[in-house]
Chain A
Amino acid sequence: GAVVSQHPSWVICKSGTSVKIECRSLDFQATTMFWYRQFPKQSLMLMATSNEGSKATYEQGVEKDKFLINHASLTLSTLTVTSAHPEDSSFYICSAGTRERNTGELFFGEGSRLTVL
């Protein structure tokens, strides 16, 4: 099956720093990527949708200036948490879809656990 890889799988940073998380589709071209956030013992909440070559669409309540999303190529999307604070500590998961496989299936990365001290 298709593979989506996230990096880093976990990161610890100091408050006020910025952290970049990468999401790569390894064997297919991802025309659309989705970023989710999951707080402990909670469900996955969609943060934003990114389409290759265009601006991301953010869900209501998600600060686009704080969570910068770039989808510059068909195999890579990045999420940058700017000026991270402890409340941004969470599990961030990306998923990727493609028009090539019109099955509605999305492929999820392994997730990145962010801890802000």
Chain B
Amino acid sequence: AQKVTQAQTEISVVEKEDVTLDCVYETRDTTYYLFWYKQPPSGELVFLIRRNSFDEQNEISGRYSWNFQKSTSSFNFTITASQVVDSAVYFCALSGDAGKSTFGDGTTLTVKP
């Protein structure tokens, strides 16, 4: 069975602070994909990144960066110089061979001005 754990339920930071959202996963699949999604108050899921299990390279996209550590089954997400518009619920998700996605419980990020 697949499992995704986002231990941080809520995080509150002040604008311009850096913040890291943790994600730990469990799977028996040898090939799998990890995702991060942003869900603003309007509800739609905004795709942020996909990483497959064979690619452990870290990735940076603007103020966003991701650290994939297969040895610790973690896929953490860092926002640098956070902005108020970053306030949202962030979900980490895992998709295995069958294609079904298992989502973590989400981390609610509040960035205060």
Q: Is residue A81 within 8 Å, beta carbon to beta carbon, of the partner chain?
A: no
B-side interface size class: 20 to 34
Chain B positions within 8 Å of A34 at CB level? 99-101
Q: Is residue A42 within 8 Å, beta carbon to beta carbon, of the partner chain?
A: yes
Q: Say whether B106 contacts A43, CB under 8 Å.
A: yes
Chain B positions within 8 Å of A107 at CB level? 47
The main secondary structure of chain A at its interface with chain B is strand
Interface Cβ pair total, 8 Å cutoff: 53
Chain A positions within 8 Å of B101 at CB level? 34, 44, 46, 95, 106
> Hey, what's the 0/1 contact readout for B72-113 against A, CB within 8 Å counting as 1?
000000000000000000010001001111111110000000
Q: Say whether B100 contacts A46, CB under 8 Å.
A: yes
Please choose the segment from A15-23, A67-75, A108-116 that sits at the chain B interface, where 4 or more of its residues have CB less than 8 A away.
A108-116
Q: Report the separation of the CA atoms of residues A63 and B99 in the bound assembly, to the nearest whole angstrom.
A: 22
Q: Say whether B91 contacts A44, CB under 8 Å.
A: yes
Count how many chain A residues have C-beta atoms less than 8 Å from C-beta atoms of the other chain: 23
Given contacts A43-B106, A111-B43, 15 further A-B contacts (CB under 8 A): A42-B106, A44-B91, A44-B103, A45-B103, A46-B102, A49-B98, A91-B43, A103-B50, A104-B32, A104-B33, A104-B99, A105-B33, A108-B37, A108-B44, A108-B47
Q: Interface residues, chain A, CB within 8 Å of chain B?
A: 1, 32, 34, 36, 42-46, 49, 91, 93, 95, 97, 103-108, 110-111, 113
Can you list 25 contacts pairing A with B, beta carbon distance less than 8 Å?
A1-B47, A32-B99, A34-B100, A34-B101, A42-B106, A43-B103, A43-B105, A43-B106, A49-B99, A49-B100, A91-B43, A93-B45, A97-B99, A104-B31, A104-B32, A104-B33, A104-B99, A105-B33, A106-B95, A106-B99, A106-B101, A108-B44, A111-B43, A111-B44, A111-B45
